[in-house]
């Protein structure tokens, strides 16, 4: 499929290039940092989007988010490896491997049982991290200075810009690849499994194996997001990487974004980050009330997420979103 013949791929390319250019030449550093954190989380939300289209919701994907983050941090602390071309693939592979192993268990369950089983696994990891001093216990530890092809910098502004461009590039590549996958024959099984598993079996496909494959993909993407988050923040700890609240944030952003497009998680993640930041600034002791109220409004009035609004606006103008 040619790049120009696929409007979604073209839109993703134009969108990420525009964000990258604005970030380098226009946006202030504080907003660059917000986008960096938001897009790191969005990588994980893309993984949850794949599961959601299959009809599954996980309340425990902080397990893979934390695995990715701690893989990056431990490679730096124990082996002095800060090369992002090593640490990020390692974070992705570690999460994919654990997802592959646990997938044999979770693929047997559906609905709330699937969601809560994932939550149970994530809290097991949280308990291990909190009780293990060698892993930093509740305080966590710092992440090794990141490098690219052996080149690093101590200049905070240069480092922020480099990480920002890196997350834009990885976000674009991830979104395009997942979009192409969802448009393939195997990717089309997402909605087929959600709608009628028995019919999928009659067609000669295994619904359990299809769910297993998508679960591994989701785990890998979440680990990638966790790895980039660890590099962005420069520190890992159980509370901010593995606790159940992290899983809740990922689910919140997934609902906020909507399942309509692979671009939605990046938009939804940025909205969530800005919403939380300004809510905390305005009402520091009740910011959770604002965030929770926003979620209720979305569920009641925008069940398709913010992407459904963009789709309607684009439809009125005769443009495909």
Give yes or no for a contact between 143 and 235, defined as CB atoms under 8 angstroms apart: yes
Tell me the C-alpha distance between 75 and 96, whole Å: 17
3-class secondary-structure state, position 110: coil
Q: Is the dihedral of CA 5, 53, 276, 92 positive or negative?
A: negative
Place of tokens 């052996």: 150
Taking Cα atoms as reference points, which of 170, 216, 180, 223 lies closest to residue 36? 170
Predicted confidence at residue 3, as pLDDT, reads 40
Please give the radius of gyration of the chain, using alpha carbons only, rounded to the nearest integer.
Answer: 19
Tens of pLDDT, residue by residue over 202-240, are 877 888 888 999 999 999 999 999 999 999 998 999 998
Tens of pLDDT, residue by residue over 86-137, are 999 999 999 999 999 999 999 988 889 999 999 999 999 999 999 988 888 8
For the stretch 61-92, what's the b/e string if a residue is b when 16 or more beta carbons lie within 10 angstroms of its beta carbon? bbbbbbbbbbbbbbbbbeeebbbbeebbebbb
Predicted confidence at residue 99, as pLDDT, reads 96
With a cut of 90, say whether residue 190 has pLDDT above it.
Answer: no
Tell me the C-alpha distance between 168 and 24, whole Å: 11
Predicted confidence at residue 303, as pLDDT, reads 77
Give yes or no for a contact between 53 and 305, defined as CB atoms under 8 angstroms apart: no
What letter does residue 3 receive in the DSSP assignment?
Answer: G
Domain ranges of the chain: 3-243
Give the mean model confidence (pLDDT) for residues 47-53: 91
Predicted confidence at residue 4, as pLDDT, reads 37
Q: In sequence order, which residues have a C-beta less than 8 Å from that of residue 193 and are 6 or more positions away?
A: 54, 55, 200, 207, 210, 211
Better-predicted residue by pLDDT, 279 or 102:
102
Beta-bridge mates of residue 142: 235
Average confidence score pLDDT of the chain = 87
Tell me the C-alpha distance between 285 and 127, whole Å: 27
Q: How far apart are the first and last CA of the chain?
A: 18
With a cut of 70, say whether residue 319 has pLDDT above it.
Answer: no
How many CA atoms are closer than 13 Å to the CA of 136, on its beta-carbon side?
18
Tens of pLDDT, residue by residue over 22-35, are 988 888 988 899 99
Q: How many other C-beta atoms lie within 10 A of the C-beta of residue 246?
A: 26
Q: Where are the beta strands (DSSP E) in 210-320?
A: 235-236
Residues above pLDDT 70, as percent of the chain: 96
Q: How many other C-beta atoms lie within 10 A of the C-beta of residue 119?
A: 19
Predicted confidence at residue 314, as pLDDT, reads 63
Better-predicted residue by pLDDT, 58 or 305:
58
């Amino acid at each position: 499929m040619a790049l120009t013949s696929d409007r979604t791929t073209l839109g993703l390319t134009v969108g990420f290039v525009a964000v990258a250019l604005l970030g380098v030449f226009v946006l202030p550093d504080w907003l660059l940092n917000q986008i960096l954190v938001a897009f790191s989380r969005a990588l994980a939300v893309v993984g949850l989007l794949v599961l959601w289209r299959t009809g599954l919701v996980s309340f425990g994907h902080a397990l893979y988010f934390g695995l990715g983050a701690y893989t990056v941090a431990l490679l730096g602390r124990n082996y002095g490896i800060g090369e992002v071309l090593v640490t990020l693939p390692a974070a992705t592979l570690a999460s994919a491997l654990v997802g592959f192993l646990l997938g044999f268990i979770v693929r047997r369950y559906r609905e709330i049982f699937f969601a809560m089983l994932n939550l149970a696994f994530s809290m097991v990891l949280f308990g291990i991290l909190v009780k293990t001093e060698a892993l930093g216990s509740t305080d966590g530890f710092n992440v090794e200075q990141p490098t690219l092809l052996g080149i690093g910098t101590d200049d905070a502004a240069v480092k922020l810009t480099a990480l920002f461009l890196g997350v834009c590039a990885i976000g674009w590549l991830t979104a395009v690849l997942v979009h192409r996958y969802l448009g393939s024959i195997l990717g089309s099984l997402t909605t087929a499994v959600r709608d009628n598993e028995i019919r999928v079996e009659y067609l000669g496909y295994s619904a359990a194996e299809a769910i297993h494959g998508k679960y591994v993909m989701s785990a890998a993407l979440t680990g990638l997001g966790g790895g980039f988050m660890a590099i962005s923040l420069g520190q890992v700890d159980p509370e901010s990487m593995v606790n159940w609240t992290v899983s809740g944030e990922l689910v919140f952003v997934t609902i906020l974004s909507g399942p309509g497009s692979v671009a939605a998680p990046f938009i939804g993640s940025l909205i969530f980050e800005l919403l939380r930041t300004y809510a905390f600034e305005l009402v520091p002791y009740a910011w959770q009330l604002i965030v929770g109220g926003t979620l209720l409004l979305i569920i009641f009035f925008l069940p398709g997420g913010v992407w459904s609004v963009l789709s309607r606006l684009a439809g009125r103008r005769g443009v495909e979103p």
